[in-house]
Amino acid sequence: MSTVDDITALILDDHAAFRRGFARLDDARDEQELLAIWDALALHLDIHAEAEESILYPHLVKHGDDGEDETADAIGDHNKIRDAIAEAKLHPVGSQQWWAAVGTARRENSEHLAEEEDEALPDFRRHASTELRAELGQRWLTFYGEHKNGRNLPFRDKDPQQYVADHR
């Protein structure tokens, strides 16, 4: 397995892109730049959560040492991030309310990335074979191809306990 095909490496690449995206907002010089950066970042965040919910967490919830709790936490975090993104869309870019919603998305995302990287992904790596990591990595890339620009993805919140019950 080359490391680029490993689903955990692909996820870490996205996480790094999110941190860079939020940092770029700090440097935007006008609303047009803010909008361009935010539109791409928000879409990427939404697609990433859907991809994890389709590909990573169905495995972790079944096989992780603490899979059910980690999964319920993650779905709850994804909901908070989705909600903040949806809230930002209700306000003019650059307005106080917009910055407040983007700030919430940033804070929730930073907390979530830490939990995912320090708890969920280590748990996953302990149980997933090299082959599975490559196979899920392949599915991850296919998912992004099939849902370019969020095509056919509803970006709806999911009930964490229901998700766990449906997938365990």
Nearer to Fe ion among residue 3 and residue 110 (C-beta): 110
DSSP designation for 64: -
Q: What 8-state DSSP symbol labels residue 5?
A: G
Question: Minimum distance between the CB of residue 51 and Fe ion, rounded to whole angstroms?
Answer: 9
Q: Identify which of residues 52 and 70 has a Cβ nearer to Fe ion in the complex.
A: 52
Nearest residue (beta carbon) to Fe ion: 52
Read off the tokens for 84: 């903040």
Q: State the helix-helix crossing angle for 96-115 and 7-27, rounded to 10 degrees.
A: 150
* Residue 95, both tokens: 């307005």
Q: Is the dihedral of CA 96, 159, 155, 27 positive or negative?
A: positive
Least distance in angstroms from the C-beta of 52 to Fe ion: 5
- Of the pair 88, 113, the CB lying nearest Fe ion is at 113
Q: Tell the smallest beta-carbon distance from residue 36 to Fe ion (Å).
A: 23
CB nearer Fe ion, residue 16 or residue 36: 16
Alpha-helix residue ranges (DSSP H) falling in the chain: 7-27, 31-51, 57-63, 67-89, 96-115, 121-127, 130-146, 160-167
* Residues at the interface with Fe ion (CB under 5 A): 52, 116
Least Å distance, CB 94 to Fe ion, is 27
